[in-house]
Amino acid sequence: MPYNIAMVSDFFYPNMGGVESHLYQLSQRLIQRGHKVIIITHSYKDRTGVRYLTNGLKVYYVPHVVIYSEATLPTVYGFFPIFRNIVIREEINIVHGHQAFSSMCQEAILHARTMGMKACFTDHSLVGFADASSILMNKTSKFTLSDIDHVICVSHTSKENTVLRASLNPQMVSVIPNAIVASQFKPDPGAVDKNFITIVVASRMVYRKGIDLLVAIIPRICQTNPRVRFIIGGDGPKKIDLEQMREKYLLHDRVELLGPVRHHEIRNILTKGQIFLNTSLTEAFCMGILEAACCGLLVVSTKVGGVPEVLPRHMIIFASPEEDDLVNAVMRAIEMIVLEQVSPIKFHDEIKEMYSWVNVAERTEKVYNKIWELKTPPLLERLRLYYGCGIWAGKIFCIVMAVDYLLWRFLEWIFPEENIEIAPPFPYQKYIKICKMAEEENNNKNDNDSNNNSNNNDNDNDNNINNLDGFDDIDDIDDIDGIDDIDDIDNYNNSEEKGEEDNEYYKSKTRS
């Protein structure tokens, strides 16, 4: 059964990251499987309103206040009117939220359940239990996920974390890992500088990515091996620490800071290196190491979170998140590179068989089928679920939900559903047909051009051969040094070298 699905998150293109890539790739595969998918996110600078991406993927960039790292200001009810208008216009029946740190995701799930729609949630990160921000986030997640149809996690470690902090039944949590488009991350042995051992780092420059560890180990590695150089891509508040380290140890010629990197440029950066270094302090599923291994790089990573679940052991060297252990792990990786114990092509072929977005879409579709058969709980049941979130928090959550329900009824009265215009569906089948016709026309045009060029070259070559005085047959041409193939004859006829060799040739003929 085809569904109308709304993906909701604060994090989407043009912002770069694993969540953004997951949203786009999953949406594309679901569209190819016959579902209607839209994405709701906040505006990015001048990117506001509705945009269409590949295969008719519609993106709503909603004006919203961003407070930190592309996360929006929580409003609880401020997002409800426009959210209701969008889901009615697009005839949405499943709302799929992504990332616990997204306020739009949390609010969308609350409003969707109030409106009686199916809702599921994908958690992409690990959250602690000790600091104040983690406690607040866990309480918010518990509130939102108390009334949810299903939860998806990207690793088994992430599942354990989500079940604990949101007090969920493990049976309603599925594990569906991220994936990769292997054709976009092919190895390129010619891009590697053989004079150096290049270590590539690509991540957000934030504390949880272990940038402090990276700052500490780079000078030690450079001092130990003079052939090592670093290429570092990414941006964030911790980038200044890397710049200061480079200035302090005078490593400008060995540490290259690229700054923000677009996703389509990642492969060109990865293929320049032999080793990929990940120093994260917490990670649910690291897309970076998967892309690096697919490009044929040997991975060195901290053994945290869901990282051990991503790659086979022969593709990765683990280290504890400590300075000395990371340095030792990098040195072992350098030794493997020097001894040529790494096969980039083999790595790529293995990753291509292990990860596929088609498989991720199929498994996500099974989750949609499962939640579609569930009954929507009545209002009193929802109040009971929220009331169990805590002695004081439970009462507050019940009030929040009750006000949300009253606001929905008010919006139904002041903006009736029948007065909202339904958006016409994107003609996906017609779009695919036009794309195929254009592709066939382009291929035919290229074939005709290549045939014409081939005929012209053959005619030119025949004329050139006929003009070669002193040759009895075509086999004599091979006796000329410096001509690799018949296409070089045209240039060769006009050269001085040809005249000198012709004289020698005639002299030898005369002697014989």
Return d(Cα 42, Cα 442) in angstroms, integer: 38
496, exposed or middle or buried, with CB in 10 Å at 0-12, 13-18, 19+?
exposed
Per-residue pLDDT of the chain (512 residues; tens, 9 = 90+): 899 999 999 999 888 788 999 999 999 999 999 999 999 999 998 899 999 998 999 999 999 999 888 889 999 999 999 999 999 999 999 999 999 999 999 999 999 999 999 999 999 989 888 888 888 889 999 999 999 999 999 999 999 999 999 999 999 999 999 999 999 999 998 899 989 999 999 998 989 899 999 999 999 999 999 999 999 999 889 999 999 999 999 999 999 999 888 888 899 999 999 999 999 999 999 899 999 999 999 999 999 999 999 999 999 999 999 999 999 999 999 999 999 999 999 999 999 999 999 999 999 999 999 999 999 899 999 999 999 888 999 999 999 999 999 999 999 999 999 999 999 988 888 888 888 888 888 888 777 766 666 666 555 555 554 444 444 443 443 443 444 443 443 444 444 444 444 445 444 444 43
Element (H, E) at 277: strand 275-278
Return d(Cα 233, Cα 261) in angstroms, integer: 6
Q: Where are the domains of the chain?
A: 4-179+358-419, 182-354
Query: What pLDDT is stored for residue 227 in this prediction?
Result: 94
> CB-based contacts of 291: which residues, under 8 Å, 6+ apart?
180, 185, 266, 267, 270
45: left (phi over 0), alpha (psi -120 to 50) or beta: left
Q: Where are the beta strands (DSSP E) in 105-145?
A: 118-123
Q: Taking CA 26 as the corner, what is the angle to CA 112 and CA 139, rounded to the nearest 5 degrees?
A: 45
Query: What pLDDT is stored for residue 305 in this prediction?
Result: 92
b/e per residue, 116-143, with b = 16+ CB within 10 A?
ebbbbbbbbbbbeeeeeeeeebbbbbbb
Return d(Cα 136, Cα 468) in angstroms, integer: 86
In order of 9, 58, 136, 199, the CA distances from 50 in angstroms are 15, 7, 33, 40
CB 257 within 8 A of CB 242: yes
In words, the CATH class of domain 182-354 is alpha beta
The CATH number of the structural domain formed by 4-179+358-419 is 3.40.50.2000
Query: What pLDDT is stored for residue 462 in this prediction?
Result: 54
Query: What pLDDT is stored for residue 364 in this prediction?
Result: 97
CB 278 within 8 A of CB 299: yes
Return d(Cα 153, Cα 99) in angstroms, integer: 10
Return d(Cα 38, Cα 112) in angstroms, integer: 15
Do domains 4-179+358-419 and 182-354 share one topology? The answer is: yes
Return d(Cα 49, Cα 323) in angstroms, integer: 47
Query: What pLDDT is stored for residue 129 in this prediction?
Result: 86
CB 74 within 8 A of CB 402: no
Query: What pLDDT is stored for residue 263 in this prediction?
Result: 81
Q: Are strands 197-202 and 275-278 parallel, antiparallel or unpaired?
A: parallel
SS (H, E, C) 434-488: HHHHHHHHHHHHHHHHHHHHHHHHHHHHHHHHHCCCCCCCHHHHHHCCCCCCHHH
Q: What DSSP string describes 167-231?
A: T--GGGEEE------GGGS---GGGS-TTSEEEEEES--SGGGTHHHHHHHHHHHHHH-TTEEEE
Return d(Cα 177, Cα 155) in angstroms, integer: 6
